[in-house]
Structure 1
């Protein structure tokens, strides 16, 4: 029987950041348990790699605080650990009166959150930043950056191991059982007894929490985001990052352009219901997990919304019809052609949905006497990972200090 003071389930950027800060703050015996044999296999490695500086979040919200602090700290961390990170800036383009009006909201939020920005009021000013982008007006934030998220996760893993944290790869937590003091984790390779638990299991955080009666009014609904890559000879279509104006009613940013640290330009993602929590291809189906999703009352209530049904149909079309994906990309850069895009990778977003059919947009942790369950750490989870992990570590440290 393996024993530890604290066991973190999930070696993604949030789980590893939590372990890092807990090791720095305490003398506790800490372990991180990861079901895969390699790191960054899921959300932490299958993303756009963008650091969002915080203009898109309401002032004084947790997202705003974590994003602004997280962007600054991530840049410092990448510089200190030689991780590719380029401050490219982002251009948020408005095409309609409604979108142009929302740019003023972004500007107000940026001012309140201390984010540098510039409002561009003409097509000419937009083209000075991105010659191929088209819009009526735009919001420009120079602090947005592109980072190699996989190298970041591996760097965190090296750091926690050097701090004495045990890292168990290939250990899938199959059952979680409360003990008189702490928990027993039965994994695919061992049994671990722990005094404190951090559930940072991402796509499966809700299923682990439900095993111990926590967070039963929420469930994860997986949304797949698919990316295309602009062929190298046309990569000059995007110099930096080009985003559409976000819809404040939806948690998805919409198809956008991102220049990565390796020089590639990716386009996407869409946001389509995944037929399984790890169904990365649109032909992948996990019958049991799909049945769980469609039978979940929160999901059924979500789809009762006419807006969500319209969005779902549009996103589904982008997944199965490249022409529709290209049309979404052409809204920002009209000169891009279908032949300019080749299919790249996909990620799956662990979107938490409540029983009443609401998309949970803010970070959500549920604390018990001897555990912290991270049920929602959605975008910008990568950006926020350092301060958010520090926050979760503090919750566990406070519990340990009281004993």
Structure 2
């Protein structure tokens, strides 16, 4: 029997950040339990690796605070720990008058959130930043950066172990039971008794939370985001990052271009319902998890929206028809051709949906007397991971006083 003061389920960027801050700020005996043998196998490592500086989030919101603070802290952390991180900037392109009106909203949010930006009001100004991008206006935010997210996760893991945090990999938590003194965790390799619990299990956080009666009004619906990679001879089509103007009604940014720290340029992601919480290929199927999604009242309510049905059909086409994905990529860079794009990796987004069919767009961490359940570490989760993890750590620390 293994015993700890605090056990964190999930060794991704939020779980490890929580462990880092707990080990720095308290004398508690802390452990992290990760089901995979290798870290960053899921959301924390399967993303675009972009640090979002905060212009895209409403002022005074947790997202805005975590993103602006997180971007700066992440850059400092990467510099200290030798993690590849390049401040490339991002160009958000407006294709029409509706988009341009949304740029006004983004500009106002940038002002209030203290994010540096420049408004570009012509095609000529756009091409000074990105010679191959096309639009009628744009917002350029120089503080956006590209980071190697996998190296970041491993750096956090090394740091917490140096701080005497126990890191158990290959320990999949199958059951959580409450006890008079805390929690009893059954894993694939151990039994753990813990006084306090942090559930940062990402794609499976809702399932574990509901075992102890938390989060019954929500369910994770997995959305797969697929990326293509621009062939090496055409990477000059994107010098930094090129994004479409976001639709405020949707949580997904749409297909965009990102230059990574290794010099590769990736295009994507789309956002299509995954047929399993870890169904990374569009031929992967987990029948029980798909049935769970299809039976969920919140998912069925979500699909009553004509907008969501239209988006779902469009995104599905991008997954199975390369020409449709290429068309989406050409909206920003018309010169790109299907032959310039080759299949790359995919990620799964743990999108929390409420019983009434609403996509939960803000971070959600539900507290009990002796636990914090991180049900929604929504985008920009990587960017926000240091301040968000500190917030969870402080919440747990206060419970132990």
TM over 0.5: yes
Task: Name the counterpart of 1:39.
Answer: 39
Task: Name the counterpart of 1:147.
Answer: 147
Task: Name the counterpart of 2:158.
Answer: 158
What are the within-5 Å matches in structure 2 for residues 170-185 of structure 1? Answer: 170-185=170-185
The alignment partner of 1:75 has SS state of helix
What are the within-5 Å matches in structure 2 for residues 1-400 of structure 1? Answer: 1-400=1-400
The alignment partner of 2:332 has SS state of coil
Aligned partners of 2:104 and 2:307: how far apart in 1? 24
The alignment partner of 1:138 has SS state of strand
In structure 2, the gaps of 5 or more residues are: none
Deviations 1:12-64 (A, max 9, x none): 00000000000001000000000000000000000000000000000000000
TM-score relative to the length of structure 1: 0.99
Aligned partners of 1:387 and 1:312: how far apart in 2? 33
The alignment partner of 1:299 has SS state of helix
Aligned partners of 1:294 and 1:128: how far apart in 2? 47
Aligned partners of 1:128 and 1:27: how far apart in 2? 53
The alignment partner of 1:63 has SS state of helix
Aligned partners of 1:55 and 1:280: how far apart in 2? 30
The alignment partner of 1:47 has SS state of coil
Task: Give aligned pairs, total.
Answer: 401
The alignment partner of 2:47 has SS state of coil
Instruction: Please report how far the alpha carbon of residue 96 of structure 1 lies from its aligned counterpart in structure 2 after TM superposition.
Output: 1.1
Query: After the TM superposition, which parts of structure 1 deviate over 3 Å for at least 4 consecutive aligned residues?
Result: none
Aligned partners of 1:255 and 1:226: how far apart in 2? 10
The alignment partner of 2:222 has SS state of strand
Aligned partners of 2:351 and 2:232: how far apart in 1? 33
Instruction: Please report how far the alpha carbon of residue 202 of structure 1 lies from its aligned counterpart in structure 2 after TM superposition.
Output: 0.1
Deviations 1:156-204 (A, max 9, x none): 0000000000000000000000001200000000000000000000000
After superposition, the CA RMSD in angstroms is 0.2
Aligned partners of 1:76 and 1:137: how far apart in 2? 32
The alignment partner of 1:108 has SS state of helix
Deviations 1:194-215 (A, max 9, x none): 0000000000000000000000
Aligned partners of 1:210 and 1:368: how far apart in 2? 13
TM-score relative to the length of structure 2: 1.00
Aligned partners of 2:13 and 2:196: how far apart in 1? 19
Instruction: Please report how far the alpha carbon of residue 378 of structure 1 lies from its aligned counterpart in structure 2 after TM superposition.
Output: 1.1
Instruction: Please report how far the alpha carbon of residue 340 of structure 1 lies from its aligned counterpart in structure 2 after TM superposition.
Output: 0.1
Deviations 1:350-396 (A, max 9, x none): 00000000000000000000000000001100000000000000000
Instruction: Please report how far the alpha carbon of residue 263 of structure 1 lies from its aligned counterpart in structure 2 after TM superposition.
Output: 0.0
The alignment partner of 1:6 has SS state of strand
Aligned partners of 1:260 and 1:213: how far apart in 2? 41
Deviations 1:262-296 (A, max 9, x none): 00000000000000000000000000000000000
Deviations 1:75-100 (A, max 9, x none): 00000000000000000000011100
Deviations 1:95-137 (A, max 9, x none): 0111001000000000000000000000000000000000000
Aligned partners of 1:181 and 1:58: how far apart in 2? 41
Aligned partners of 1:159 and 1:294: how far apart in 2? 41
